[in-house]
Amino acid sequence: MAALALVAACGGSGGAEGAGDQAYAEGRYQEALAAYAPLSEATPSSRLWAKVGAAALHTGQLREATAAYRALGASDPDRADEAASGLERVILAADRKREEAALAEAVMALRTIAPDRPLGRHALSLMQASDGAVDPAGFSAALAAATEAGEVDSLLARQATALAGIGACDQAVPLFQAGIRRAGRPGSSAAEAGLAECYLRLGSGMMASVPDSAETLFRESAALDSVTPVGREALIGFGDARYRQGDLIGAALAYQAALSAGEPGDSLAVVARKKLNALVSAVVPDSLSTGAP
């Protein structure tokens, strides 16, 4: 009945389209798609896009269905709701099959065709399926759809880690901070480790141009983590910043802390000892003048 209703609503035709309609009505969706697709490319119309989308969805060709429903909504604003409903069916199918690329495309198409339609659980499904960061609008929608505290915590951690992984620490920092605040207690955590590393990266990037800001970031990084390679590198950076400001004692203490926290002879210990010896001997090596290790 649903198949016949679709054909009736879209308008039956003779020739190849009529053959496609017959195949669709009989549940031979791949044959229907094979008939509709060339026609939609040769003589595109909202009628054909609707048929291509429905047939492609039935055959599991989700990206093709998304393209067709996107074209339907763009070609005929009066059928935007129909296109959006089709895209929502694609999203559900992509979520069930864990097809991340198809899910992302369908969510983006839905946002384009029906920007006022709430993404709700669709955005949450997209984020849970994604291995990387999602766009800010999708992330906000996913947070709004999350109903459990653990779900929110997981979303914050996932997005922050993904952003840090692509070097977007300026965006990751507030998310890491939010995760730590939600935990309500200090201590070792993935969020604190991620935040410490982002502070280190941001401080290193500011060392040449804004050393005062770099010093603050290095200090914050070391306060979170002073014993791992990240924390020890932050201590060295903090020492470099103090040295630039003429605080030789502060620099020496930072270098000594980085040296003491590691194993004798490891790479960071070698750097820290070199800088410490330079202070003691009042000889400034090139690495100090450039801020490099």
Number of Cβ within 10 Å of residue 263's Cβ equals: 7
Q: Do the Cβ atoms of 66 and 36 come closer than 8 Å? A: no
Convert the pLDDT of each residue in 219-267 to its tens digit: 999 999 888 999 999 999 999 999 988 899 999 999 999 999 888 788 9
Q: Looking at the domain covering 172-293, what would its CATH class be?
A: mainly alpha
| Confidence category of residue 99, pLDDT binned at 50, 70, 90 | confident
Residue 287 has pLDDT above 70, yes or no: no
What is the C-alpha to C-alpha distance for residues 192 and 6, in angstroms, rounded to an integer?
54
The phi, psi pair for 117, rounded to 5°, reads -80, 125
Q: How confident is the model over 30-85, as pLDDT tens digits?
A: 999 999 999 999 999 999 999 999 999 999 999 999 999 999 999 999 999 999 99
Domain boundaries, the chain: 172-293
**pLDDT at position 129:** 65
Indicate the pTM of the whole model: 0.65
* pLDDT > 50? residue 288: no
